[in-house]
Amino acid sequence: MKELSLNILDIVQNSLTAGAAHIDIDLEETAETLRITVTDDGCGMNAETVRNVTDPFYTTRKTRAVGLGIPFFKLAAEQTGGRLELKSTPAAENADEHGTVISALFYKTSIDFTPLGDISSTLCTLIQGLDDNTDIKFRHSFPNGEVGLDTAEIRAVLGGVPLSTPEVLVLLKDDLAAQYAEIVSNDN
Amino acid sequence: MKSLEELAKIRERMAGKVALREGENSIRIVVGMATCGIAAGARPVLNAFVDEVAKQGVSDKATVSQTGCIGICQYEPVVEVFEPGKEKTTYVKMTPEKAARVVAEHIKGGKPVVEYTIGNTII
């Protein structure tokens, strides 16, 4: 992937497939590191599946025998000297507290660090395809501020107007751009 | 989130319009958004379809949605167009520029852009 934001778009599809109602996308930046964490309350995976998902030749899909989403994400982290962590509780083991946490640490100072890229575009793409039963909470924290967005909050304001309405998506993109601009101006 | 007030304004403007969106005769534009599609550039293609459908004023008859891998990764970004009562059209190796033309000629004009379809593409 050319941008980490594309990896995020890809990884979050796993949470959607897992039937998650709440997905948290958390980006934490320091001067030297970036940590990307996606937390969901989907159906989860058993221990054997968790062991297998970083193997490119493992997939639950039937169309092909390879699954590259998590291996790509892991590679992108490890090539900077970072790592990928994965924890999951399947619904079959715990009906009340199930889901998956995938977290990757990147060293931004590494020459092999892939830039985050257009994260706003990733969020708008996810929101465009979001069904009524799933909400996404996004947070991107910097030492000097924070950018955030919560689809539950947006839905409450919109009433019955769908999140996928083009005017809404344009507004969300502009809103994120304005929030990021504030972080940059805090820096100066 | 800074623009909650502007969101509320959209809600007021859209009141009454929403019910019209889910027409039964609507065309479905489906973009493949699995690992293969994303890596090949599906994100800007999807966003171009969303923008063009709104810009060219066909949002009452077409909806844009996302799907997973359909098994022809070498042709990604792949976009399928489903029209009621017609055969499915499969567009391959899509770009944002091609998306604009598909919306203009196929969705608006009713004629598929044959040169972008899977049968006319050599890889």
Q: Is the pLDDT of residue A64 over 90?
A: no
List chain B residues with pLDDT less than 70: 16-25, 123
Residue B58 touches partner A, C-beta closer than 8 Å: no
**pLDDT computed for residue B15 by the predictor:** 75
- Write down the pLDDT at residue A61: 64
Domains in chain A, CATH or no CATH each: 4-187 (3.30.565)
Q: Write the pLDDT tens digit of every residue in B71-99.
A: 899 999 999 999 998 999 999 999 999 99
Q: Report d(CA B100, CA A101) in Å as an integer.
A: 38
> CATH fold of B22-120, please?
Glutaredoxin (3.40.30)
Residues of A in contact with B3 (CB under 8 A): 171, 174-175, 178
d(CA B75, CA B5): 43
Q: What is the pLDDT of residues A11-53, one digit of tens each?
A: 999 999 999 999 999 999 999 999 999 999 999 999 988 888 8
Q: Work out the average pLDDT over A68-93.
A: 94
What's the pLDDT score for residue A150? Answer: 96
pLDDT score at B120: 81
Mean pLDDT in residue range A112-141: 96
Question: Given A13, A122, A171, which is nearest B3 (Cβ)?
Answer: A171
ipTM: 0.86
Average pLDDT over residues A54-80: 82
What is the H or E stretch that residue A37 is in?
A: strand A33-40
Q: Which residue has the higher pLDDT, A54 or A40?
A: A40
How do the domains of chain B map onto residue ranges?
22-120
In chain A, which residues touch B (CB < 8 A)?
A: 1, 6, 9-10, 13, 17, 61, 63-64, 67-69, 72, 121-122, 124-125, 128-129, 148-150, 153-154, 157-162, 164-169, 171, 174-175, 178-179
Does A63 have pLDDT greater than 90?
no
Give me the sign of the Cα torsion angle A93, A15, A135, A74.
positive
d(CA A83, CA A54): 12
Asked whether the whole model's pTM tops 0.80, one would answer yes
